[in-house]
Chain A
């Protein structure tokens, strides 16, 4: 079965600094990978997704992620963080033939210092 690890529970960055959130997955073949963001008390919003092809994926709100098969990683990055980016971020993995079920990581809480 597939699994997802987000090693950082909390991350604090200063506004304007760069950001990288880590995501590692475990799956025998090429997975489908997603990053979602959740504001407090809200649902999840899709930031970006990777299915195949170019390993650098651009998403909304200035986010990007890079799929690295050799490291089983799909890290999320942003060159300059804004205070409004403070939220919880979830990495998720889906597999072919899996009934479109997603397995989610436990999330990374991002705090932005002004």
Chain B
């Protein structure tokens, strides 16, 4: 079955540590996205990538970094510079850029900073 996988489902981090969240898709989609979800705030875009080896900052990129070395993979690193990283993180993909293609979402990773 085609889809998007995110791992781990739950992640705990100590303050000052960097952590990397995994996102893999086998839908052959060109575009991939990372969102952060906090209660009452909907989804906010962190980074997106329209093609391999290229990515752009979203609305809340500070304290995060990404890479897109393979079409299937778009890992997100939450760095120690992110002041309030505890949140639910969602990865998504779409066929291509252009606005009229729906995004497909993974199951999410819940990150908790201890």
Residues of A within 8 A of B (CB): 9, 32, 34, 36, 41-46, 49, 51, 90, 94-102, 104-107
Contact = CB atoms under 8 A, between A and B. Distances in A.
Contacts of B41: 106
A101 B40 contact: no
Interface stretch (B63-71, B74-82, B93-101): B93-101
Q: Is the interface of A mostly helix, strand, loop or mixed?
A: loop
Contacts of A49: 102
B56 interface: yes
Interface string B17-51: 00000000000000101010000111111001010
A101 B58 CA distance: 9
Contacts of A97: 98-99
Interface of B: 4, 31, 33, 35, 40-45, 48, 50, 56, 58, 88, 90, 92, 94, 96-108, 110
Contacts of A99: 31, 48, 50, 56, 97, 99
Nearest to B90: A43
Contacts of A106: 40-42
Counting from the closest, the 8 A-B pairs by CB-CB distance are A43-B105, A106-B42, A94-B99, A100-B97, A104-B43, A44-B105, A104-B42, A43-B107
B48 A101 contact: yes
B100 A32 contact: yes
A107 B88 CA distance: 15
Given A99-B56, A106-B40, A42 B107 contact: yes
A100 B105 CA distance: 14
A100 B96 CA distance: 7
A25 to B, nearest CB: 13
A100 B98 contact: yes
B10 to A, nearest CB: 10
B99 A45 contact: no
* Residue of A45, A96, A101 most packed against chain B (CB within 10 A): A101
A100 B106 contact: no
A100 B108 contact: no
